[in-house]
């Protein structure tokens, strides 16, 4: 793989690490982009379980519609990035120590970002399960190569009490 792909993986892991509960991702120029909160709810502590998600503005909805941006596109890009990351880690293709350190640093943060996306999409059972499988792949990835070991535990929203999907 080319070096720019590894840079894209690192940038997308950084974006994932910034995702808050109820926040959405989109794909822009083949990379992740964060959707901003468009209401007063962004100033509240939205991480509390009783909070409702912020409402999307009509502009955001239209932009997503005309830009063909939806959660399926994001899931597809997320699966692609995890596959690329698996290739780099399992085949030990990263030689630079600073990149290995960045991957180790970003790994638990990006994993938490995926869990936060599960909070965002908790009412969509298919998306929720897709995100859970992706999170499991990513969580186990570094355990399979001791050179990248992070010994990280991230709690899954699935382990919390939930109503039926």
Share of the chain above pLDDT 70, in %: 65
Q: For residue 91, is it within any domain? A: yes
Burial (CB count within 10 angstroms: exposed 0-12, middle 13-18, buried 19+), residue 152: middle
Q: If you average pLDDT over every residue of the chain, what do you get?
A: 79
Q: For residue 132, is it within any domain? A: yes
Length of the chain: 165
3-class SS of residue 1: coil
Q: For residue 50, is it within any domain? A: no
Q: How many domains does the chain have?
A: 1
List, for residues 61-118, the tens digit of each pLDDT value: 555 555 656 789 999 999 999 999 999 999 989 989 999 999 999 999 999 999 999 9
Average pLDDT over residues 15-19: 96
Q: For residue 51, is it within any domain? A: no
Q: For residue 46, is it within any domain? A: no
Q: What is the pLDDT of residue 5?
A: 87
Phi, psi for residue 70 in degrees, rounded to 5: -150, 175
């Amino acid at each position: 793989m080319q070096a720019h792909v590894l840079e894209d993986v690192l940038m997308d892991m950084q974006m994932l690490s910034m995702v808050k509960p109820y926040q959405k991702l989109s794909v822009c120029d083949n990379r992740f982009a964060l959707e901003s909160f468009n209401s007063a709810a962004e100033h509240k502590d939205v991480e509390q379980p009783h909070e409702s998600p912020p409402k999307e503005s009509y502009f955001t909805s239209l932009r997503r519609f005309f830009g063909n941006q939806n959660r399926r596109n994001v899931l597809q890009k997320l699966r692609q990035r995890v596959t690329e990351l698996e290739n780099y880690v399992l085949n030990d293709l990263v030689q630079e120590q600073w990149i290995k350190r960045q991957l180790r640093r970003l790994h638990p943060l990006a994993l938490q970002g995926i869990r936060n996306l599960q909070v965002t999409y908790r009412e969509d059972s298919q998306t929720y399960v897709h995100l859970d499988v992706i999170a499991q792949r990513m969580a186990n990835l570094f355990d399979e190569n001791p050179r990248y070991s992070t010994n990280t535990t991230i709690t899954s929203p699935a382990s919390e009490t939930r109503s039926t999907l």
